[in-house]
């Protein structure tokens, strides 16, 4: 276990609580001491040689981030990503906790599969959690055994990648999930409204001769599932919000006391359908990028807390798959390694969120899913990310720890550099370092 002393660093916690600047001593995987600069090792008292000292000047330290929505493709599609490379990408991006979606092959619909994935995830250095499927084989016909999945370690339920089409089954799932105190996380796209998936039905699709995915695909299911959550008392998360109408539905539901959470991805708050013209299949995702009014509504939703979580929907695919013609390419882009810089560029620098508000959105999932982490304070896990706000970096093919390169942000210069990620007191990523 590393012992680390971070000297004189700006500290940002969600909600702006706690110390604003100071020194941190990490021991036994926890934050042993957090104190104003110079108090832990005052002048004349040397830092012992066995403690690694890190200069915190010109750095911000955040709690290790959590991404409640990643696809590590393991088992079944490890040519795209695996648990080890996915976790390395997380560490590079400042994420110390991730929740893997269950659309693997085989999918995460039995306790044994979840136990196996969690066992393999133990060696990654970061905290890797598993979602369990809502329905067997993600077929949308029969519910899985929620109690058994929970006992095996599932931290939420989802058929992500697919919607739960049957309203009756969704209602039954909500009743049972509430009994198990599990949140259901929902990919809201009714295929009835989708011609061509991965691109908004609108101007850009038309110009490319494609039909597109209508916004009603999302709106109709968000409306239905908010109503189901309201009448069953279940807690749900609406994943990767893309349409302005969905933001408004969630805003009203929250005001009425419905237990609903919402995710926004960096791509949905940074880009519109226009990105498909420039980046083709690397801007193809489900739900699709939509219009500027939708993007503005997502920004507003993030600002007022309607959208309480930022999640990347990290979705690796191979270069060969993304080289196919648009209609045949798979949907999804990677996101873990660019997320924090995009939050900085799109939300913090324009003044939409303060850093502490941004941290609320990047750590809310700890509370929503009942996981440890999310706060810099004595006794908390030593899960931290050290960020250099005055530096920038160029996104190149070589930058990624992920196996995949499918991102529309390739070749951009992004502000802010993750210098070090620490999880459980261990350095799991260091800029220019070995790990
Ligand atoms: Zn999804």
pLDDT band at 2 (very low <50, low <70, confident <90, very high): confident
Strands (E) located in 163-224: 184-186
Whole-number Å distance, alpha carbon 31 to ligand 1 midpoint, is: 35
pLDDT at 1: 63
Reported confidence tier of residue 209, pLDDT bands at 50, 70, 90: very high
| β-strands 4-11, 21-27 pairing | antiparallel
Q: How far is the CA of 285 from the centre of ligand 1 (A)?
A: 9
Q: Cβ atoms within 10 A of the Cβ of 373, count?
A: 21
CA of 391 from ligand 1 middle (Å) equals 32
- Please compute the mean of the pLDDT values over residues 245-261 and round it to a whole number: 98
**Average pLDDT for 315-323:** 98
pTM over 0.85: yes
Q: How far is the CA of 13 from the centre of ligand 1 (A)?
A: 28
4-61+378-430 and 64-368 in the same fold: no
Q: How many other CB atoms sit within 10 Å of the CB of residue 196?
A: 18
How far, in Å, is the centroid of ligand 1 from the Cα of 221?
13
Q: How is the chain split into domains, by residue range?
A: 4-61+378-430, 64-368
Question: To the nearest whole number, what is the mean pLDDT of the chain?
Answer: 97
Q: What is the mean pLDDT of residues 61-75?
A: 98
Which whole number is the average pLDDT over 411-416? 98
Distance, in Å, from the CA atom of 272 to the CA atom of 152, rounded to the nearest integer, reads 39
The pLDDT of residue 115 is: 98
Averaged pLDDT, 175-201: 98
Average pLDDT over residues 48-54: 95
Q: What percent of the chain has pLDDT over 90?
A: 97
377: its two tokens: 């304070």
Catalytic residue status for 313 = yes
Active-site pick, 109, 159, 313, 383: 313
Q: Give percent above pLDDT 70 in the chain.
A: 99
Mean pLDDT of 319-347: 98
Could you give the C-alpha distances from 166 to 150, 187, 239, 261, in angstroms and in order? 23, 14, 18, 21
Provide the CATH number for the domain formed by 4-61+378-430 in this structure.
Answer: 2.30.40.10
Find the 239 Cα to ligand 1 centroid distance in Å.
6
Which of these CATH numbers, 3.40.1280.10, 3.10.580.10, 3.20.20.140, 3.40.50.2300, describes 64-368? Answer: 3.20.20.140
CA of 199 to the centre of ligand 1 (A): 14
Query: What average pLDDT does range 106-126 have in this prediction?
Result: 98
> Is pLDDT of 137 > 70?
yes
Mean pLDDT of 318-337: 98
Looking at residue 238, its pLDDT comes to 98
* β-pairing verdict for 127-132 and 154-158: parallel
Q: Say which residues have a Cβ less than 8 Å from residue 209's Cβ, sequence separation at least 6.
A: none
pLDDT at 109: 98
User: Model confidence at 435, in pLDDT bands (50, 70, 90)?
Assistant: low
Instruction: Please give the pLDDT value at position 292.
Output: 98
Residue 434, pLDDT score: 66
Q: Is the predicted pLDDT of residue 400 greater than 80, yes or no?
A: yes
- Both tokens assigned to 203: 């101007």
């Amino acid at each position: 276990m590393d012992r680390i002393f971070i000297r004189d660093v700006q500290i940002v916690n969600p909600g702006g609580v706690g110390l604003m600047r100071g020194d941190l001593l990490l021991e036994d995987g926890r934050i042993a001491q957090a104190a104003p600069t110079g108090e832990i090792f005052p002048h004349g008292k040397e830092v012992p040689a066995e403690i690694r000292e890190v200069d915190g000047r010109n750095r911000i330290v955040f709690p290790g981030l959590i991404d409640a929505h990643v696809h590590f493709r393991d088992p079944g599609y490890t040519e795209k990503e695996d648990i080890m490379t996915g976790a390395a990408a997380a560490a590079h991006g400042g994420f110390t906790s991730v929740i893997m979606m269950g659309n693997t092959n085989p999918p995460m619909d039995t306790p044994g599969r979840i136990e196996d994935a969690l066992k393999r995830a133990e060696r990654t250095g970061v905290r890797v959690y598993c979602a369990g499927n809502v329905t067997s084989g993600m077929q949308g016909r029969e519910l899985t055994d929620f109690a058994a999945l929970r006992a095996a370690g599932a931290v939420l339920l989802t058929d992500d990648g697919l919607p739960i089409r049957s309203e009756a089954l969704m209602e039954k799932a909500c009743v049972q999930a509430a009994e198990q105190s599990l949140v259901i996380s929902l990919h809201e796209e009714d295929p009835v409204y989708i011609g061509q998936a991965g691109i908004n039905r609108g101007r850009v699709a038309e110009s490319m001769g494609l039909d597109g995915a209508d916004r009603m695909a999302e709106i109709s299911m968000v409306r239905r599932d908010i109503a189901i959550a309201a009448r069953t008392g279940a807690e749900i998360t609406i994943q990767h919000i893309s349409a302005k109408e969905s933001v408004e539905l969630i805003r009203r539901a929250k005001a009425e006391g419905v237990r609903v959470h919402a995710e926004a991805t960096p791509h949905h708050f940074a880009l519109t359908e226009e990105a498909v013209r420039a980046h083709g299949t690397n801007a193809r995702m489900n739900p699709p990028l939509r219009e500027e009014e939708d993007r503005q509504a997502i920004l507003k939703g993030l600002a007022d807390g309607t959208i309480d979580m930022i999640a990347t929907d990290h979705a690796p695919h191979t270069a060969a798959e993304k080289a196919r013609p648009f209609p045949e390419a798979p949907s999804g882009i990677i996101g873990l390694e660019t997320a924090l810089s995009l939050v900085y560029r799109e939300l913090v620098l324009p003044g939409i969120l303060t850093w502490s508000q941004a941290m609320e959105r990047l750590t809310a999932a700890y509370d929503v899913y009942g996981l440890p982490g999310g706060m810099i304070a004595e006794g908390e896990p030593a899960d931290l990310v050290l960020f250099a706000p005055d530096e920038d970096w160029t996104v190149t093919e070589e930058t990624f720890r992920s196996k995949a390169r499918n991102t529309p942000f390739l070749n951009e210069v992004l502000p802010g550099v993750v210098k070090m990620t620490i999880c459980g007191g261990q350095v799991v990523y260091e800029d220019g370092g070995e790990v």
